[in-house]
Amino acid sequence: MRIVALIPGGVGEQVLFFPTLDGLKQAYPHAQIDVVVEPTAKAAYQVSKSVNNAIAFEFESRNSLADWGNLLGNIREREYEVAVFPGQNWTVSFLLWLAGIPTRIGYEGTPGANFFTHTVPRNTNQYGATAYYDLLKSLNFQAPCPALAVSIPVKDLDWADAERKRLGIGQAGYVLVYGSADATNNGKTYPVESWNGIIQDFQQKQPDLMLVVVKDEDNATLVDALVKLNPSLKVTQPDTTGKLAAIIGGANLMLCTDSAPMQLAVAVQTYTLALFGDNEPKKMLPESNRFIGIKSLSGKMADIAPQTVLEKVWGG
């Protein structure tokens, strides 16, 4: 059997879809499962347990007829028997119909839903991974939604071991900090001053517990500012999703904003305290005392007081 899932969104959205892909693999262990994703999201599949191939396609671009034609040809050539599409782009639904895939699955009420052979209602009030997994109910799946999980390559686990040695992390362990940057200025960035207040409180109360900040190309300015204020901070720069998952997996605690690293923290079962702006924590985190979300009452992450975060840390 050949199965394809077309999944818009970034790395975090792909990781949320992993349980659905894992469920398909459990039900059809010999199936080839491919995904079609944004080029920047392909990195997520370095740690997928169930996917054979990740095909790049820019869903969010103004694609030409030639672009759509190339995707249609690619899909037709592979002769998929099942297609799963959780998005709302009628063009994709139409393309799957044109490709002649016998079983086409999506949500009720979405644009192009009439091109699906199987539809299910979407419960928008539940955890995102479970909402995705509901799509498989149309195939009469009875098993519960699997937990979010990843498979980290051995070479990335080895890198994380070497990185912890480089950072001088001792037996007390470390807290990993990740602050995302929001280029659109939509209130999804937690300010340097607020992070600094949290970091200084940690350093006073737990001086033996090392604080390590994750730096990437998007949040470099934020991290540089924090290090300037706190020279004792350690910085790690994993350059693959596997390395990032590995360094998160070894942490005592992950302090982060709503982001792809947050989803990886869930997948590796690291205790996580995440800050949310307009997203609802219950939709982005599973129900568990290992994963705590703090939502801004105003919808702007900057309005979450550092003391609110620290009360959760020391009180929990």
Residue 149 forms part of a structural domain: no
The DSSP H or E segment spanning 69 is helix 65-78
pLDDT of residue 184: 53
pLDDT for position 315? 84
Residues 118, 165, single domain; the answer is no
Domain that holds residue 7: 2-139
- Which token pair is 143? 């098993």
Spatial distance between the Cα atoms of 198 and 115, rounded to a whole number of angstroms: 51
Contacts of 10 (CB under 8 A, 6+ apart): 38, 40, 41, 260
Same domain? 205 vs 111: no
Shared-domain flag, residues 38 and 114: yes
Give the residue from 139, 165, 193 where a domain finishes.
139
Query: What pLDDT shows up at residue 183?
Result: 57
Domain boundary among 100, 115, 139: 139
d(CA 119, CA 103): 11
Number of domains making up the chain? 2
Q: Is residue 67 assigned to a domain?
A: yes
CATH number of the domain that 176 lies in? Answer: 3.40.50.2000
Give the mean pLDDT per block of 10 residues along the chain (316 residues).
Answer: 96 97 96 97 96 94 91 96 96 97 97 96 94 95 93 98 96 94 69 96 93 96 96 96 98 97 98 96 96 95 96 85
Domain boundary among 139, 167, 194: 139
Residues 132 and 171 in one domain: no
